[in-house]
Structure 1
Amino acid sequence: MLIDPRHLQILTAIVDAGGLTEGAARLGKSQPSLSRSLALLEARIGAPLFEKGKRPLQPTALGRALAVEGRVIASASEAAGRTALSHSKGQAGILRVAGSPVFMDGVISQTIASFQAEFPDLRVDQSYGYLDALLNELSLDQIDIAICPVTTDQVPEGFSFRKLLPGRNVIACSSAHPLARKKSLILDDIAPYPWIAPPADSPLHADLRRVLDEIGISDIKVSFSGGSLTSILNVLEGSQAITILPHSVVFMQRHTKKLHPLSIRIKHPARDLGLLTRNGQQATPAVRRLEKHLIAQFSGLSHSIAQHERNALWRS
């Protein structure tokens, strides 16, 4: 037997309020309206739900049992309303975010953590990829936002790019490395040490080759290649290798006191780290909230990194 859930909610209101008038006031309806709904429910069930002739109204055993179910329905309806409201305000839901591995692990994950501390009911599904794969996932509506380093001419028609950070790279080593203790450095100082090469398909690997060409190093010893940011940091910490990393990643690791940027001036890539989205893709309130959070966080981070550059790095 199918029963209109609204009728059960009305029954619950009458039982809990203690009468038709009180139940109508609780629901914001008229008493005649509740009487008609109650009559329809009793006709549907084929049995009375209140003891006849008793005042105040007293529910029958069946009436009390059905009122329990009505409370469940009312509770579910209220929960659904709260969920819908949270989604409409961007306070709940699922965000699909993807980006370049080194930046996602070294920089973005910390800003996502601060975002979720403010909005704990928002779930973030994160994945990794480089530009071509990210563009494809955006086109197929598999992700909401891509966060990656690109040049302006790499953004195809139909997509939008919002800059977060200018491209800045540094040569880095562990804080225990002999080079970290030198007050001034020249290129000959780094020549004896092996290198960690970033993943071959990453923009950072191309940056390494270009930097080596620019500073006149044609032959290097590669002691480790590929791997995640965590593995690169672990190898740096346990060896005398050096590598190239985005300055933002090194800057975000400063609290660990394990990573040291070398004050050797190098040319920076023409890319910017930013938010890549597909035009025409309807952004949910949660996506807009995350975008706003990232832009605000990186505005402060960009200022701090620029200040650190002026005060500590690339001294001639």
Structure 2
Amino acid sequence: MNANQFEGTRQPMVVFAYPAGMDIRQLRYFLAVVEHGSFTRAAAMTGRTQQALSKGIAALEQQLGARLFERGSRGARPTAVGRLLLDHARTADDTLRTFEQRLQELQTGTEGEIRIGTGPTAAGSVVAPAVLALRAAWPRLGVRVTGGVLPELLPALLARELDVVIALDTMLQTDPRLHRDLLVNDEYRIMASASHPLAGRAGLTAADLLDHPWVMGRRLGEVQTQFRQRFTDAGLSPPAQSLESSSLDFVRTLVRDGAYLTLLPTRLVHVELASRQCTRLAVPGFSWERPLVVYTRLGEPQSDPQARLLQALRNAAEQAG
């Protein structure tokens, strides 16, 4: 890139149509309060003290000569002026972030960066193959991957700490600020070791499942609600959930060595199923199909790295399907 081209990339920094002296940090504080609905949560998500964030918002209100938020017991809601500012602030923030990304690419010689949040089911079956394909085609693309469960990853996506989240959708409702793109469907099933007393048995019922210990994943959402409802519908109490873990290695060990039952997506244990270390129990009514979904922020333009990742994810899901 020559000097003239570089100067061209700097133009977004001087075209914001706001009062002189307005600080981009103030706009980002404003956006954080809108996103999180309170000054306390916004301060926590931006890594600032509540005093510093409130001071920045107050300075912005003084410049504009109007209040931006109505503060009440339910948090902070934008006023009419706040709503008017919102779209312009988002545009300014997006423009500056694009400039910052391109400047980093110029200075570091990278081809951009993508920050990925992934649930355990997507991590090995879809995200890892997609990242391998991305890095093969764009070796200078920076990639950061964060693992977790959906209720923890989506707030990070809304807070702009992540660019994309890939996970099984275990919830009934999705935040209207998010866009969902279906990759493939997966199926939750009851899993046991191949040597388990129930393995291979026909005619299993809900009552048979109560004679054995269980270990459950953490925060399974609607799937866990429906799992417990199956027992209630049969006039039974659901299994006592004395063991719960977000660690797949822990769950695998208990299922393999401790004769525990568990409820997992099929893709998460495809290696164990293929090697016959693990088996799916055939219990009528105890299977739930859930979509493996890519989440992005609604209405935002895709960066080049994000567009590349989404295509690689679709290719990986198609090949894995």
Q: 1:82 to 1:272 in 2, by over 3 A?
A: same
Deviation at 1:298, TM superposition (A): 1.5
Query: Does structure 2 retain, via aligned residues, the 8 Å contact 1:193–1:221?
Result: no
Decide which of 196, 204, 224 is 1:186's aligned counterpart.
204
Instruction: Determine the structure 2 residue equivalent to 1:118.
Output: 136
Instruction: Determine the structure 1 residue equivalent to 2:307.
Output: 288
Task: Return 5+ residue gaps in structure 1 as ranges.
Answer: 1-5, 7-79, 88-92, 303-316
Deviation at 1:240, TM superposition (A): 0.9
Matched, 1:103 2:121: yes
Query: Does structure 2 retain, via aligned residues, the 8 Å contact 1:107–1:252?
Result: no
- Greater Rg, structure 1 or structure 2? 1
Decide which of 131, 155, 158 is 2:174's aligned counterpart.
155
Instruction: Determine the structure 2 residue equivalent to 1:213.
Output: 232
TM-score with structure 2 length normalisation?
0.56
Question: Deviations along 1:254-299, whole A, 9 cap, x unmatched?
Answer: 3443221112233554742200101233322222122111112222
Cα RMSD of the aligned pairs, angstroms, is 3.3
Question: Deviations along 1:33-80, whole A, 9 cap, x unmatched?
Answer: xxxxxxxxxxxxxxxxxxxxxxxxxxxxxxxxxxxxxxxxxxxxxxx8
Give the Cα separation in 2 of the matches to 1:272 and 1:106. 16
Give the Cα separation in 2 of the matches to 1:236 and 1:278. 38
Decide which of 279, 294, 301 is 2:320's aligned counterpart.
301
Decide which of 160, 166, 178 is 2:185's aligned counterpart.
166
Percentage of identical aligned residues:
21
Q: 1:115 to 1:230 in 2, by over 3 A?
A: farther
Deviation at 1:144, TM superposition (A): 0.9
Question: Deviations along 1:215-249, whole A, 9 cap, x unmatched?
Answer: 55414244522231121111111111111111222
Question: Deviations along 1:129-183, whole A, 9 cap, x unmatched?
Answer: 444443322222211101123379623333211112225210001122232243x
Matched, 1:236 2:250: no
Task: Return 5+ residue gaps in structure 2 as ranges.
Answer: 4-104
Q: 1:221 to 1:201 in 2, by over 3 A?
A: closer
Matched, 1:137 2:162: no
Aligned length, in residue pairs: 216
Deviation at 1:207, TM superposition (A): 4.5
The residue type equivalent to 1:249 in the other structure is: L
Query: Does structure 2 retain, via aligned residues, the 8 Å contact 1:169–1:269?
Result: yes
Instruction: Determine the structure 2 residue equivalent to 1:19.
Output: none
Question: After the TM superposition, which of the residue ranges 244-253 and 197-206 deviates more from structure 2?
Answer: 197-206
TM-score with structure 1 length normalisation?
0.57
Give the Cα separation in 2 of the matches to 1:149 and 1:253. 20
